[in-house]
Every structure is written in structure tokens, then in C-alpha cells.
């Protein structure tokens, strides 16, 4: 389990673009589960959409990518010292689908599993749920590179 302080030691993202609040399960090389609490106070809701707030699909995909980035970096086999010199770049997001809208007050749960893993490359199956209902899914491909 990782809280937001530990997540910030792994990912370079910060408010308002850190989109993972907590990691509840991590099985290195296999899968990760984490979540984001979607709040009406988030800046994105000022314009998406006034009077009818919907959390943007691109933000859901970014949250999946961030959770997947944590999994990739933790599964890479690099030492903690080596990881300080690395960053993860997403190369592609394929087959993205949006099933249901996400609204303020929802807890967005990311479930990311490994399809393929090499030291510097990872292919992930990403799914996002609200109340155990699938809201989005995609296949994500990323590389771990030097900063």
C-alpha cells in the first residue's frame, strides 16, 4: 500500500495533475490497484461542464497511466538509486473506451495489469471502475527512460 506521499516519491506529477490518491495493492510485475477521489473542487470542473460536471475521459486515462507508471517503475528491477534517474513515458494508449460518466463524489478505482513486461518496456491492460462498475478501459504502452 502506498499513500500520496510515497506516490510522490515515485511519480514526478504534482497538484493539480497527480491523479492517484492511494495505491491499495501492488503485485510487482503483475498488477496494481489504486484510486482517486473525484472532488467538485478540482479545477477541471470549472469548464467541464458548468452546471453538469463530468470528469473528462482524458483525465481517467491519465490516472490509469499514472497508476501504470507506478507499477512499471516498481516492476522494472532497477534499484531505488537507479529509479531516481529514470522517468516513464507513455508511447501509446489504444482501444480506449468510456462506458459511463464519472462525476464529483465518485471514487475512481484503477485496476491495471501487465500484458507484457521487459526491463524498459511495459504493456498494460487498464480498467477504471466506480462502485464496481466499469467506466473506462484501455491498453497502455510505456517505456522507462533516463531523465
**pLDDT tens digits, one per residue of 43-98:** 999 999 999 999 999 999 999 999 999 999 999 888 888 888 989 999 999 999 99
From 22, 48, 103, 141, the catalytic residue: 48
Q: Which residues contact 49 (CB under 8 A, 6 or more apart)?
A: none
Domains assigned to the chain? 4-146 (3.10.129.10)
For residue range 101-115, what is the model confidence (pLDDT) as tens digits? 999 999 999 999 999
Reply yes or no on whether 48 is catalytic. yes
Amino acid at each position: 500500500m502506498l499513500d500520496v506521499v510515497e506516490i510522490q516519491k515515485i511519480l514526478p506529477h504534482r497538484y493539480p495533475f497527480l491523479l492517484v490518491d492511494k495505491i491499495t495493492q501492488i503485485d510487482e510485475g503483475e498488477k496494481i490497484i489504486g484510486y482517486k477521489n473525484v472532488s467538485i473542487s478540482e479545477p477541471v470542473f470549472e469548464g467541464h461542464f458548468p452546471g453538469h460536471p463530468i470528469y473528462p475521459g482524458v483525465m481517467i486515462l491519465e490516472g490509469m497511466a499514472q497508476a501504470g507508471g507506478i507499477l512499471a517503475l516498481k516492476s522494472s528491477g532497477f534499484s531505488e538509486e537507479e529509479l531516481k534517474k529514470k522517468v516513464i513515458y507513455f508511447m501509446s494508449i489504444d482501444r480506449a473506451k468510456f462506458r459511463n460518466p464519472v462525476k464529483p463524489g465518485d471514487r475512481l478505482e484503477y485496476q491495471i495489469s501487465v500484458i507484457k513486461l521487459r526491463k524498459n518496456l511495459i504493456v498494460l491492460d487498464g480498467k477504471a471502475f466506480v462502485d464496481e462498475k466499469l467506466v473506462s478501459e484501455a491498453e497502455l504502452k510505456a517505456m522507462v527512460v533516463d531523465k
